[in-house]
Structure formats: C-alpha cells, structure tokens
Amino acid sequence: MANGAGRLDLDGRPIKPITICMIGAGGFIGSHLCEKLMTETPHKVLALDVYNDKIKHLLEPDTVEWAGRIQFHRINIKHDSRLEGLIKMADLTINLAAICTPADYNTRPLDTIYSNFIDALPVVKYCSENNKRLIHFSTCEVYGKTIGSFLPKDHPLRQDPEFYVLKEDTSPCIFGSIEKQRWSYACAKQLIERLVFAEGAENGLEFTIVRPFNWIGPRMDFIPGIDGPSEGVPRVLACFSNNLLRREPLKLVDGGESQRTFIYIKDAIEAVLLMIENPERANGHIFNVGNPNNEVTVRQLAEMMTEVYSKVSGETAIESPTIDVSSKEFYGEGYDDSDKRIPDMTIINRQLGWNPKTSLWDLLESTLTYQHRTYAEAVKKATSKPVAS
C-alpha cells in the first residue's frame, strides 16, 4: 500500500496525511526516513539540506509514483530567512541536522557546539511560536559515562544493570572534565534537549526527543577519498569499512575495549515512523532507539566485520587484521570515551510497542554488501593510480 490508504495508528484511528519539514533530510538517517515516507505513507516532505546526493534517487521528477510529495530546498539553516516559512508550511518538523562525528568533537569543538546548540535554537523557537510539533534528534552521548565506570575495575556491581543500563527518565548525564573536549558534543546536545523540554513545560511545545544508539546501515557517513575528504575520519562503521576496502588493518583506539550496541537503520526508522504517526503516544517523551541485544566491544566489532567482509567480498582477510593505536594518536589531545552504552527499552516499548529485529551479523552483512558493491571498484582505482615520477 504505497500511498498508505487505510492505514491506522496504534489506537486504530485512520492516519491523516501530513506535511513534514525535515531538516538534514540529505543525511544518512534523513535519506532512509524520506525513502520510508515516500514508499509506505501518504505524507509530504519538505526536504531541507545543503546536499542531496543521498536522496537524489527520490527526487527524479515524473518517474516515480510520489512525484510532488517530496520537495528539496537547498538551505543552510545557520543563516537562511526561508527557514521559518518552511516550518510554518508543515505540520511537523524533524531536526536531524548536526555535526556528529567524534573525530570533530576534539578538533572542531566550536563548530560542534554551534552546530548542535546555536543552530538548533531557531528551529525550536519557530516550532514553539507557530505551535508546530517537533521531533528533535539528540544522541545517546548525552548519557556520557555510566555510573559503573566510576567503580573499581573488578567491582561486582559493574555487572549490575542498575549501574550501566541507560534510562531516559532516571539516568544521570555524566561527562568528563572541560579539558576533555570530546564532551563538547554531548553537552551541546544535552542543553538543546533541556531547552526543548523547557519549551514544552512553559510554552506547551509538542515535542519528541530521539536518542539514537549507533544506527548503522547503507549510506552512513562517507569513505574517505572516495565520497568524502581523504583526511576525514568518519564514525567507526565507515572507518572500518574503509580499512577493509583498502585491505588495511583496522585501527583499534585504546585497544577497542569500549562497548557499544548497534542497531540496523531500517529497524530504527520503523520506530521513528511510529513517533510521527502516533503523536499522542510520543509527545512529551524522550526515546532511546537502539538494540540492547547487539552489544559488542569495538574489538569484537572489528573481528566480526573482518569475517563478514571476507564472506561478502570473497577476499581472504589480511595477515594481521587489527592494529592498536592510542586515542591521542587517533583523535588528538582531549579525547575521552563512554565505557558502555546499553539502552533501556521500557519507555519505547510501553508507548509505541516497538522492538528492534535485526541481529548484528545480519545488519553487518547487509551494510558491508552495500559498501562492497558501492565502493570496491572506486577504491581499487584510487589505490592503483600510478605515481608521477
């Protein structure tokens, strides 16, 4: 039912078509969300971004059944007077715009703080003043470190979920010292969450806050030197994919001991669609969106990706597939890290009945198949260029 005729919300009511102003629609999450909205719902999207490469396939005029339901507006929200008008035209605004690569938090802390706090302010303000609903994308980084990370290494309470599972309504947000600039991102994101929450409390803003826990899948970030800057450092999935494509060892920062949970982008987008279409159940809530069953250390992730990539590419893995580097060497001065990130799922489960489905192995297989298909040839070309004598 591509046009979504006869679709019902979780309370059995017919879903009315709405117009969505999506800021950051050209990014990884935005592209998957636009795809879902076009193929499975009747909603309209005003897609705002600086680039549209990842949604080009949705914008082809006249060739698709949803022609006219998605419009691209090339806008940098920093300084564009059209922003308020576009928010007014829509029923719902979704803000996905952010600098969200840890390699930037240290080296570009000012850009990180401005992009995640200052640039998000007008969006919140316009939604509040014009009585428009807002779905704001935050991050699991706002939790910072777990309470358990402050206990001695071998303390038995470190194994107690009370000391590491992250809950939207009760877990504290614990950051490192100011010198550790890695927390510039988490802190900016936390402050904008507090502002959104305060607009709700004082001015009745209808809002939902999303805290993604490592969403991964096709079109994530970029491959340095191919479709992104050669000196760029994307997030772990694209970093490791880049190493695998180039047959280089995967770099493990500080031994790859940090633990993370990974969720497939398509599972996560299901959750976002439920938020969009069930405002009564989603308004006023903060939602963790992650997959607690897919927990691995970064070292285990590297080992798994090496194995999966061999399978999808048909190439044997290199002799020593991983190499240890210090965080200072990799990220520069001021780096710090969260030890463990496991989302509590109680609230999203209760409000939206949502659960993630895809196992880590399956999501890596699907993502690395895409990476191999998309980039393997380009990387071969790039690495075999003759050097001018």
Element (H, E) at 48: strand 44-49
Range with the lowest mean pLDDT among 28-32, 281-285, 369-373, 378-382? Answer: 378-382
Task: List helix spans (H) across 90-177.
Answer: 102-107, 109-116, 121-129
Q: Looking at residue 334, what is its pLDDT?
A: 62
The tens digit of pLDDT for each residue in 145-196 reads 999 889 898 999 988 989 999 999 999 999 999 998 889 999 999 999 999 9
- For the cut 70, the answer to whether the pLDDT of residue 231 exceeds it is no
| Pair of tokens at residue 190 | 């936390």
pLDDT for residue 223: 72
Q: Is the pLDDT of residue 235 over 90?
A: no
**Is 358 among the domain residues?**
yes
The answer, yes or no, to whether residue 261 has pLDDT greater than 60, is: yes
- Whether residue 262 is predicted with pLDDT greater than 60 in this model: the reply is yes
| Contact of 180 with 327, CB cutoff 8 Å | no
Mean of per-residue pLDDT scores for the chain: 90
Q: How confident is the model at residue 337 (pLDDT cuts 50, 70, 90)?
A: low
* Phi, psi angle pair for 353, to nearest 5°: 60, 30
The answer to whether residue 320 sits within a structural domain is yes
Determine, yes or no, domain membership for 163. yes
Residue type, 36: K
Residue 41 domain flag: no
- Count CA atoms closer than 13 A to 4's CA, side-chain side: 21
Three-state DSSP class for residue 81: coil
Number of domains the chain is built from: 1
Reply yes or no on whether 114 is catalytic: no
Domain boundaries, position 134: 98-379
Helices assigned H by DSSP within the chain: 28-40, 56-59, 83-89, 102-107, 109-116, 121-129, 183-203, 236-245, 265-277, 279-282, 298-313, 327-331, 346-352, 360-383
Question: pLDDT tens, 62-116?
Answer: 667 887 899 999 999 988 899 999 999 999 999 999 876 666 777 788 999 999 9
Q: Is residue 62 part of a domain?
A: no
Domain membership of residue 357 (yes or no) is yes
Q: Considering the candidates 143, 185, 264, 335, report the single residue annotated as catalytic.
A: 185
Residue 36 lies in a domain: no
180: CATH: 3.40.50.720
Kindly state whether residue 181 falls inside one of the protein's structural domains. yes
pTM over 0.85: yes
Q: What is the pLDDT of residues 123-155, one digit of tens each?
A: 999 999 999 999 999 999 999 999 988 989 899
